[in-house]
Amino acid sequence: MFMKVLGIRVDEIDRRQAIEKISGWIEPAFAKGYGEAKHVVTIYSEFVLAALKDTEFKKAIEKADLVVPDGVGVLAAMEYGKDSPYGDLGTGQAPAERDSGRMTNKLLDGLKVGLKGLRGGLGEPVTGVWLFEELVGLAASRGWKVFLLGGFGDTAEKLAGKIEKDSGQARMTVGWDAGEPRLTFAKAKLGLVNKENDPPTSRLRRGESRLHTRLRRGEGRNEEIIRRINKFKPDLLMVAYGPIKQEKWIYENKKKLKAKVAIGLGGTFDEVLGKFPKAPMWMEKRGLKALWRLMVQPKRLPRIFRGMIVFPWKVFRQS
């Protein structure tokens, strides 16, 4: 089962169900070798807003095998949209008729959902950090192979070392590669995502030719990365190319990958390494993790504004 939040698909699934589904794709009793990698997206409010403007990103979400709600904001939107008499959150279209009574009722319903979230009553979001830690723990106990791709500088290498050290007697072997996230950026700028034939350089406008050169250089590196992943044959491929870029990369390359499950995890690598302090559990359960991140990373203010102000306003307006 799934819902549409502002027209973007989100699966109605909790933490236990998410782990069971992913485990079913990996366990030898259920897995059928290495076909096309299963793509897991952890979606939060900013992702929904980005997908409204980025058709390729939206397509990557729609074609994913599992889209889990990573954030209380998305859970609140799903709760608000259930059995809504005001309109259809699935289409993202605002109803034609409005009157003061209807708007008042909508506002009251929205406040009820918000208060429910502050009390921790909307359930636990399937966050990227939680999913990472839970799956790595299972990998240690069940012998799954894990490959870390991306991060900045030596992040993936350090995290691989940490996982291997923490695994103790399980002695996990973790593959890693710093990656080439610039490739997807160049392809997106040139409008070449998922297109086999690139236009000749002579037809490119000024400025595009530099991106095209960057693309050519990046493609060789990307093929090298895929060969390295496929030689390792991971059960779990964790990709940290940054939000949106990583989802597009998995979508573009999943047919080439000999990995059972691929997950985009954004800043999770840094958080697990302790590069910034984790939010207290009580804040995370009540949808206040963004405020915590703002305190420790003030530069995130524009992102937090979009997630905590713009997103709920759009949900309210288009319900």
- Same-domain status, 77 and 57: no
- Tell me, yes or no, whether 223 lies in a domain: yes
The verdict on pTM exceeding 0.75 is yes
Which domain does 248 fall in, by range? 13-71+127-181+218-275
- Same-domain status, 52 and 83: no
- Same-domain status, 112 and 226: no
Per-residue model confidence (pLDDT) at position 251: 96
- Tell me, yes or no, whether 206 lies in a domain: no
- Same-domain status, 102 and 243: no
- Tell me, yes or no, whether 204 lies in a domain: no
- Tell me, yes or no, whether 293 lies in a domain: yes
Q: Which residue has the tokens 């399937």?
A: 126
- Same-domain status, 235 and 113: no
Is residue 247 scored above 90 in pLDDT? yes
Interval 196-209: pLDDT, tens: 444 444 444 544 45
- Same-domain status, 50 and 135: yes
- Same-domain status, 116 and 30: no
Per-residue model confidence (pLDDT) at position 90: 52
- Same-domain status, 92 and 111: yes
- Tell me, yes or no, whether 196 lies in a domain: no
- Same-domain status, 17 and 114: no
Per-residue model confidence (pLDDT) at position 3: 93
Per-residue model confidence (pLDDT) at position 141: 92
Structural domain total, the chain: 2
- Same-domain status, 222 and 116: no
Question: DSSP readout, the chain?
Answer: -EEEETTEEEE---HHHHHHHHHHHHSTTT--SS-SPEEEEEE-HHHHHHHHH-HHHHHHHHT-SEEEE-SHHHHHHHHHHTT-SS-BTTTTBPPS---HHHHHHHHHHHHHHHHHHHTTTT-----HHHHHHHHHHHHHHHT--EEEEE-STTHHHHHHHHHHHHTGGG---EEEE---THHHHHHHHHT-TT-SSPPPGGGSPTTHHHHHHHHHHHHHHHHHHHHHHHHH--SEEEEES-TTHHHHHHHHHTTT---SEEEE-TTHHHHHTTSSPPPPHHHHHTT-HHHHHHHH-GGGHHHHHIIIIIHHHHHHHT-
pLDDT grade, residue 86 (50/70/90)?
very low
- Tell me, yes or no, whether 147 lies in a domain: yes
pLDDT mean over 59-82: 93
- Tell me, yes or no, whether 186 lies in a domain: no
- Tell me, yes or no, whether 314 lies in a domain: yes
- Same-domain status, 264 and 148: yes
pLDDT mean over 250-254: 95
Query: Averaging pLDDT over each range in 165-169, 176-180, 216-220, which range is the top one?
Result: 176-180
- Same-domain status, 113 and 24: no
Is residue 279 scored above 90 in pLDDT? no
66-75, 97-106, 310-319: which has the minimum mean pLDDT? 97-106
pLDDT mean over 62-71: 96
pLDDT grade, residue 292 (50/70/90)?
confident
6-15, 88-97, 125-134, 141-150: which has the minimum mean pLDDT? 88-97
Per-residue model confidence (pLDDT) at position 190: 38
